[in-house]
Structure 1
Amino acid sequence: MTHLLVCDDSNMARKQLIRALPAEWPVTISQATNGQEALEAIRQGLGQVMLLDLTMPVLDGYQTLAALREEGLQTKVVVVSGDVQEEAVRRVKELGALAFLKKPADPEILRATLVELGLFDPKAEAPPSAPTQDQDALLDTLKVNFRDALREVTNVAMGRAAALLAKVLGVFVQLPVPQVNIFEVSELHMTLSDAQRGQRLSAACQGFIGDGIAGEALLLFHDSEVSDMARLLKWQPKDDNETSEMLLDLSSILIGACLSGIAEQIDVRFSQGHPMLLGQHASIERLIHLNQKRWKKTLAVEISYSLEGDHIHFDLLLLFTEDSIRRLTHKINYLLN
Structure 2
Amino acid sequence: MIPLLVCDDSMMARKQLIRALPAEWPVTISQANHGEEAMLVLRQGLAEVMLLDLTMPVMDGFEVLAALRDEGLSCKVIVVSGDVQEEAIRRVSDLGALAFIKKPADPEKLRETLSRLGLLDTPAPASTSSAPAPVAVPPRPAFELKINFRDALREISNVAMGRAAALLAKVLGVFVQLPVPAVNIFEVSELHMTLADAQRGERFSALCQGFIGDGIAGEALLLFHDSEIADISRLFKWQPKDETETSEMLLDLASILIGACLSGISEQIDVRFSQGHPQLLGLHGSIDSLIHVNQQRWRKTLAVEISYSLEGHNVHFDLLLLFTEDSIQRLSHKINYLLN
Instruction: State TM-score, norm by structure 1.
Output: 0.96
Structure 2 residue 15 is the aligned partner of structure 1 residue 15? yes
Aligned partner of residue 110 in structure 1, secondary structure: helix
- Give the letter aligned to residue 2 of structure 1: I
Q: Distance in 1 between matches of 2:229 and 2:321?
A: 22
Q: Distance in 2 between matches of 1:14 and 1:289?
A: 41
Post-superposition Cα deviations, 1:236-283, rounded to whole Å, max 9, x if no partner, equal: 110000000000000000000000000000000000000001011001
Look up the match of 2:26. 26
The Cα of 1:194 is off from its aligned counterpart by 2.4
Within 5 A, what are the aligned runs for 1:85-124? 85-121=85-121
Q: Distance in 2 between matches of 1:97 and 1:196?
A: 38
Aligned partner of residue 298 in structure 1, secondary structure: strand
Aligned partner of residue 89 in structure 2, secondary structure: helix
Look up the match of 2:256. 253
Q: In the alignment, which of 284, 299, 308 is matched to residue 311 of structure 2? A: 308
Structure 2 residue 80 is the aligned partner of structure 1 residue 74? no
Within 5 A, what are the aligned runs for 1:156-305? 156-305=159-308
Judged with a 3 Å threshold, the aligned counterparts in structure 2 of structure 1 residues 187 and 48 are, in CA distance, closer, same or farther, namely: same
- Give the letter aligned to residue 253 of structure 1: I
Q: Distance in 2 between matches of 1:235 and 1:287?
A: 27
Give the alignment's Cα RMSD to 1 decimal.
1.3
Look up the match of 1:54. 54
The Cα of 1:123 is off from its aligned counterpart by 9.2
Bigger radius of gyration: 2
Q: Distance in 2 between matches of 1:244 and 1:31?
A: 47
The Cα of 1:195 is off from its aligned counterpart by 2.8
The Cα of 1:72 is off from its aligned counterpart by 0.4
Q: Distance in 1 between matches of 2:156 and 2:20?
A: 17
After TM superposition, the runs of 4+ consecutive aligned structure 1 residues lying more than 3 A away are 122-128
Structure 2 residue 35 is the aligned partner of structure 1 residue 35? yes
Look up the match of 1:321. 324
- Give the letter aligned to residue 135 of structure 1: P
Aligned partner of residue 185 in structure 2, secondary structure: strand
CA contact (8 A) 1:23 1:127 kept: no
Which runs of 5 or more structure 2 residues have no equivalent in the other structure?
Answer: 125-133
CA contact (8 A) 1:205 1:218 kept: yes
User: 250-259 or 42-51, which moves further after superposition?
Assistant: 42-51
Q: Distance in 1 between matches of 2:60 and 2:192?
A: 30
- Give the letter aligned to residue 204 of structure 1: L
Identity of aligned residues (%): 79
CA contact (8 A) 2:221 2:322 kept: yes
- Give the letter aligned to residue 95 of structure 2: L
CA contact (8 A) 1:24 1:126 kept: no
Judged with a 3 Å threshold, the aligned counterparts in structure 2 of structure 1 residues 246 and 53 are, in CA distance, closer, same or farther, namely: same
Q: Distance in 1 between matches of 2:44 and 2:189?
A: 48
Q: Distance in 2 between matches of 1:295 and 1:310?
A: 32
Q: Distance in 1 between matches of 2:219 and 2:135?
A: 52
Structure 2 residue 337 is the aligned partner of structure 1 residue 334? yes
Q: Distance in 2 between matches of 1:241 and 1:160?
A: 29
The Cα of 1:126 is off from its aligned counterpart by 5.9
Structure 2 residue 156 is the aligned partner of structure 1 residue 153? yes
CA contact (8 A) 2:3 2:48 kept: yes
Which runs of 5 or more structure 1 residues have no equivalent in the other structure?
Answer: none
The Cα of 1:9 is off from its aligned counterpart by 0.2
Post-superposition Cα deviations, 1:159-181, rounded to whole Å, max 9, x if no partner, equal: 00000000111000000000000
Q: Distance in 1 between matches of 2:222 and 2:60?
A: 25
The Cα of 1:104 is off from its aligned counterpart by 0.4
Look up the match of 2:127. none
The Cα of 1:121 is off from its aligned counterpart by 2.0
Instruction: State TM-score, norm by structure 2.
Output: 0.95
Considering fraction of residues, name the structure with more helix.
Answer: 1
Aligned partner of residue 135 in structure 1, secondary structure: coil
The Cα of 1:127 is off from its aligned counterpart by 6.0
